[in-house]
Amino acid sequence: MTQKTAIVTGAARGIGLATTRQFLARGHRVAMIDRDAAALAEAAEGLDGVLPVVCDVSDPDAVAAMTAEAAGAFGRIDALVNNAGVADFGPIEATDFARWREVMATNLDGVFLCSQAAIPHLRETRGAIVNIASISGLRASTLRVAYGTSKAAVIHLTMQQAAELGEYGIRANCVAPGPVRTKLAMAVHSPQIIAAYHDAIPLNRYGSEDEIASVITFLCSEAASYVTGQTIASDGGFQATGVGLP
Ligand code: NAD
């Protein structure tokens, strides 16, 4: 049987590393992509079937080289998970343009660039794209102008991809996680925000990396063969409540 493969960006830690492990458990080979070379080397150590590639997803040349390396090493690409992301907490009046551009460069340009580079390979396998947005892309708050806008754009880009690529058998879906205790979230979540999330989320807790990764790998699998253009919130019920973001 053909061994399937996936490219996972932001794979050195957090949700990307959990997704890598779940793909490996399903028998995939995985190209682990991250710009943090030291963290990537540490994460890849001892994992069988991975190809770690240091790459900044906002750099078009690096993305082209990374995709060629993964396709060359594996001979095929069945799934692309656009997970690399940076957090930002700031209202419009306190966000300078350089920071706005930085957030867009990784969270939005990175999804565009990695998808564009992978599409010729995904056409050959009738593969799948999963983009990682956030509940911050579904709800406005007073604090997340750059992050929330970048994630809302990722949700739209996913629908765009589904509309354009369906004729090649490529599916594109999006996962909008609620809060997960990763380095990204814990850098910006104060004790007050953590308590407010616990109150606002019907399941009264943060999610785990594995709970997000299992939705991602499901969407890449045959079990989701008729699902495309969707955004699935994996958020303990937060999106269902209508309560404002903490
Ligand atoms: P994390 O910080 O633990 O991991 C993110 C990884 O992406 C890091 O290894 C980092 O080095 C890498 N990365 C960042 N910018 C990059 C770039 N330009 N090129 C290549 N690699 C880059 O974060 P996480 O919480 O696992 O986040 C993963 C995704 O989930 C992000 O898109 C994030 O916005 C989204 N998300 C997270 C939460 C949460 O609460 N943790 C909630 C909603 C959405």
Residue 243 has pLDDT above 90, yes or no: no
Query: Do the interacting molecules here have an ipTM over 0.95?
Result: yes
Is 173:223 a contact under the CB 8 Å cutoff?
no
* Cα 80 from Cα 193, distance rounded (Å): 32
Q: What is the pLDDT of residue 53?
A: 98
Q: How far is the CA of 84 from the centre of ligand 1 (A)?
A: 5
Model confidence at 1: pLDDT above 80: no
Determine the pLDDT at residue 29: 98
DSSP H or E stretch at residue 51 = strand 50-54
Instruction: Give me the chain's average pLDDT, please.
Output: 97
Predicted confidence band of residue 139 (pLDDT cuts 50, 70, 90): very high
Largest Cα separation within the chain, whole Å, is 55
| Residue 203 binned pLDDT confidence (cut-offs 50, 70, 90) | very high
**Alpha carbon of residue 10 to chain centroid:** 8
Which phi and psi angles does 129 have, rounded to 5°? -115, 135
**Paired strand residues for 7:** 31, 80
Could you report the per-residue pLDDT of 6-53, keeping only the tens digit for each? 999 999 999 999 999 999 999 999 999 999 999 999 999 999 999 999
Non-local (6+) Cβ contacts of 21 within 8 A are 47, 213
Burial environment of residue 141 by CB neighbours within 10 A (0 to 12, 13 to 18, 19 or more): middle
Which pTM value belongs to this model?
Answer: 0.98
Examine the residue annotation and report whether 147 is marked as an active-site residue of this protein. yes
How large is the average pLDDT for residues 176-197?
A: 93
Indicate whether 218 pLDDT > 90: yes
CA of 185 to the centre of ligand 1 (A): 9
Q: What is the pLDDT of residue 45?
A: 98
Question: Using CA atoms, how far apart are residues 154 and 151, in angstroms rounded to an integer?
Answer: 5
Pocket of ligand 1 (CB under 6 A): 9-10, 12-16, 34-36, 39, 56-58, 83-86, 106, 110, 132, 134, 177, 179-180, 182-185
pLDDT in tens, 80-135: 999 999 999 999 999 999 999 999 999 999 999 999 999 999 999 999 999 999 99
Q: What percent of the chain has pLDDT over 90?
A: 93
Ligand 1 atom with the shortest distance to the CA of 59? 18
Sorting pLDDT into bands at 50, 70 and 90, what band is 246? Answer: confident
Per-residue pLDDT band for 244 (boundaries 50, 70, 90) equals: confident
